[in-house]
Amino acid sequence: MRIARFSIDGNVAFGAVEGEGPDGLVLDIIKGIPYAEFELSGTKVPLNKVRLLPPVLPNKVVAIGRNYAEHAAELGNEVPDVPVAFFKPTTSVIGSGDAIEYPSFSNELHHEAELAVVIGRMCREVPRERVKDVIFGYTCANDVTARDAQKREKQWARAKGFDTSCPLGPWVETDLDPHDLTIQATVNGEQRQLGRTSDMIRSIEDLVVHITEAMTLLPGDVILTGTPAGVGPLHVGDEVAVTIEGIGTLTNKVIKRG
Ligand code: MG
């Protein structure tokens, strides 16, 4: 099931996405909370009449760096012995169709297409064989990065944590085998990144074990699993789209911060 979060006439709701796009998609409004018990109301609204919101409101976004060998190599980095983990703050999260605001302290903004794992249950110290039980679903992410600041500053809080640096969406797909999917990024319709999730160095299972060894994950928390090769610059006016097979397309425009 594809679950979107949206607003219409000032009200916010979750809905199950049904039909085929782009104009045939409808949302069946959900009664209850998607992570717990819920039912479909049968009340349907056309998707093109609503504003999509980030499909989840995470308590935290834990991101993994350098998880595809070709991407590590293109930036001149070794594949690390242990996964590199960092946070993106909740204030960095935006939905599909929202604008990425080019930060004033950077002249080198990059896109990073990533598969995002959405957690469905509170969990800690998850054993490998239980990882599938704590995952709610998957969505597309863009780990937008101020590359110049990332190189300049030892920690990446500003470079990867500025407002609007974490587009998520367009919805969460709950029925998906994530292990061998095409993942790509285009800028203004031109392909920039292309990879397969099977090329991840550490699997989703490895990452959930690694992260929950340290911290409790809550329903709605998000793990970004790293980006394939082909990262590159974004400029004001660009439209960047992240597409993952079986999920959909996350689209955002880059604007000057007002
Ligand atoms: Mg990344």
C-alpha 66/C-alpha 69 separation (Å) is 7
Q: In the chain, what are the domain boundaries?
A: 2-52, 61-256
pLDDT of residue 143: 98
Q: Inform me whether the pLDDT recorded for 154 exceeds 80.
A: yes
Q: Inform me whether the pLDDT recorded for 24 exceeds 90.
A: no
Distance 64 CA to ligand 1 centre (A): 6
pLDDT of residue 21: 73
Mean pLDDT to the nearest integer, 92-111: 98
Distance 22 CA to ligand 1 centre (A): 29
Q: Choose the CATH number for 2-52 among 1.10.1060.10, 3.30.565.10, 2.30.30.370, 2.60.40.10.
A: 2.30.30.370
Percent helix, strand and coil across the chain, each rounded to 5? 15, 45, 40
Q: Tell me, yes or no, if the two domains 2-52 and 61-256 fold the same way.
A: no
Distance 65 CA to ligand 1 centre (A): 5
DSSP 58: -
Give the DSSP H/E element, type plus range, for residue 109.
strand 109-111
pLDDT tens string 31-70: 988 888 889 999 999 999 999 999 999 999 999 999 998 9
Distance 239 CA to ligand 1 centre (A): 19
Contact by Cβ (8 Å): 50, 6? yes
Distance 115 CA to ligand 1 centre (A): 10
Please state which architecture CATH assigns to domain 61-256.
Answer: Alpha-Beta Complex (3.90)
pLDDT of residue 64: 97
Of 218, 120, 118, which is closest to residue 178 (Cα–Cα)? 118
Distance 135 CA to ligand 1 centre (A): 20
Distance 86 CA to ligand 1 centre (A): 9
Distance 29 CA to ligand 1 centre (A): 33
Give the DSSP H/E element, type plus range, for residue 196.
strand 190-196
Distance 113 CA to ligand 1 centre (A): 8
Distance 105 CA to ligand 1 centre (A): 19
pLDDT of residue 23: 76
pLDDT tens string 172-196: 999 999 999 999 999 999 999 999 9
